[in-house]
Chains A and B, each alone.
Chain A
């Protein structure tokens, strides 16, 4: 059932993406952006319902797989964008964010999530919930920073290359985009820090050790250092093109590690293996 509801949400996401693209192609039709906003808000709501139903069906276990993770990030990206739009009013960002959510979401619609093999009771650790939500939110913020960085680089190419075409007039100013990237990276870093702390606490409970050189832990720590360095670099004057490029690289790393760690079986115990059912977990 949750998959059915998710499909409805996906249709709404598609509608929002279409509306935002229409707005981007014809900025005079400001109403398209408004329609996009409300469609996205509806998609966000329906997606939340799908989560609720999914938790009831599978005991929340789907959040440990790639599929659940991606859907969570899409959901949070949309939520963060809705909030940003309320405060900053940059509907062109919507034209970059919504197609991205669609690309990520569509593959997850095929195939049902697997039935849980372990008892959900083993996962009822409160910090685990915090870990999942904050990790998802952190990645969502990094994803929007990535989108803004792409917009920055496109606009920089227009402004610097003296090509005053359609992109030039539609995209926001370089300064706006630069500050947006910086704020998102900073906020993402703070949230991600919370996710790491919560994750470590949950790992201590589940794996009996806070640090076990699990690939997921190593990659997460590397990502944390990378974004921490970026926050620091900002203070020492980095901005503009270099910063945007760095944001791109950092997010490619985040997304790449997320997909690879969760698709290659057995590479990490993080895929829902919490050392309670499979003996392999204990062996690592």
Chain B
């Protein structure tokens, strides 16, 4: 029975969140689901990727039935949202997912970690055998290659990342510096938190209403200061994130100008996340003041998306090459058992014949003579098998699996064991063999 890789899954592209959350599993539930999958008829190995954006079941099996059942058991309506892939298409899909080419934000970093985690879980549950292990390792290597050879992961994809990039280019890091968070906008708090990772000494928080200000200060681990202190705070802080609901400029040109004088022209970065704007554009024209508004930052995010689209094309080419290499390798591997068996048989015959000859005439020969008879027998085997070996390997690596079958038939070799390392019959109950997936 020939087995192949099948993928059944649903993702943010095919299924609404209501369906996704019904089939999403984690922790022990996922582990028992994996064990259940593996016990199913015709399933050799299994592996489940479950993130908030996708649930995908990969099985090395006779067909996709078991993987389909995984979804329909949990949510009958999931059947309408599934995509099913087999063989090289399934391999390609996993490679694309790992390299973050199928993500909502193309090029994001987390998905590779999530796939690695999924693989770890599957191999801990002994659901992933040697085939899934090779597949996953190849997927991780491909993702790594794409990350180093293309710029797919470069650039900022969110406002807070843009803020971090800008501040890095002005101050390097923020050690010994302070961040001012003025106003209680949600984006402001996010950006302040992201900037705090650059090593800022403290976060100063101010807000017109002290209640919300205090809560915000608690949330970002900062200190609350009265709104009236704003002019002084502009002197103390090096980065000011402004996101108040005020319909007018909160930081006027005069206010910033005075602050710069008091700062003795130390650079000041103003990040205006409010709409309508809270920082007078004229303030940004002052020397050593670097001011950005929402539009500026949106533009950066947009240009990142544009750049990543171009890089994604290069990444797809790498995926394609890796899929080809992986499937070829797999076929070459399939030919190996036939070869090994063939050689074993031939050597057994040669050895037996040599022994028979030696039993008859061995007495007349000295030690050296007996050695030469054995050597001759081995040499004949090697010479005879040299051509077929080379040709079989060549055919297998060029993707032709028929020659291996023909050779098996011609030499009367029994059906070679499946190219998977698992020695378990599909219908055979009993304790599973502990196959620890080996990293190649």
Contact = CB atoms under 8 A, between A and B. Distances in A.
- Chains A and B belong together in one complex: yes
Interface in A104-136: none
Contacts of B154: 169
Interface of B: 148-149, 151, 154, 165-166, 168-172, 264-267, 284, 287-288, 290, 292, 296, 299-300, 303
B303 A164 contact: yes
Interface string A145-180: 000000000010011101010001101111110000
Contact of B172 (A159, A162, A176): A176
Interface in A20-67: 28
Interface in A218-267: 237-242
| Top-8 shortest CB links A-B | A237-B264, A173-B172, A175-B172, A175-B171, A162-B296, A240-B288, A173-B169, A176-B172
Tell me whether chain B's interface is mostly helix, strand or loop, or mixed. Answer: helix
B298 to A, nearest CB: 12
Nearest to A174: B170
B265 A160 contact: no
A169 B288 CA distance: 20
Contacts of A158: 169
A22 to B, nearest CB: 16
A87 B299 CA distance: 36
Contact of B169 (A174, A237, A238, A242): A174
Nearest to B148: A28
B169 A241 contact: no
Given A240-B287, A241-B287, A241-B288, A174 B267 contact: yes
A242 B288 CA distance: 10
Nearest to A238: B265
B296 A175 contact: no
A169 B304 CA distance: 12
B265 A240 contact: yes
A152 to B, nearest CB: 12
Contacts, number: 49
A259 B255 CA distance: 48
Contacts of B265: 237-240
Given A28-B148, A240-B287, A241-B288, A155 B264 contact: no
Contacts of B303: 164
Contacts of B172: 172-173, 175-176
Interface size class of A (residues with CB under 8 A): 20 to 34
Interface of A: 28, 155, 158-160, 162, 164, 168-169, 171-176, 237-242
A173 B169 CA distance: 4
B264 A159 contact: no
A173 B173 CA distance: 9
B170 A159 contact: yes
24 contacts: A159-B166, A159-B169, A159-B290, A160-B284, A162-B296, A162-B299, A168-B169, A169-B154, A173-B169, A173-B170, A174-B170, A174-B267, A175-B170, A175-B171, A175-B172, A175-B267, A176-B172, A239-B265, A239-B266, A239-B288, A240-B265, A240-B267, A241-B287, A242-B287
Contacts of A160: 284, 290
B418 to A, nearest CB: 42
Contacts of A155: 169
A168 B169 CA distance: 8
Given A160-B284, A162-B296, A240-B287, 15 more contacts: A155-B169, A158-B169, A159-B290, A168-B169, A171-B169, A173-B169, A174-B170, A174-B171, A175-B171, A175-B172, A176-B172, A237-B265, A237-B266, A240-B267, A241-B287
A180 to B, nearest CB: 11
A172 B292 CA distance: 20
A161 B290 CA distance: 9
Contacts of A169: 154
Contacts of B287: 240-242
Given A160-B290, A162-B292, A175-B267, A28 B151 contact: yes
Contacts of B264: 237
Nearest to A168: B169
Of B151, B169, B266, B303, most buried by chain A (CB within 10 Å of CB) is: B169
A237 B154 CA distance: 36
A158 B170 CA distance: 11
Most buried by B among A155, A159, A172: A159
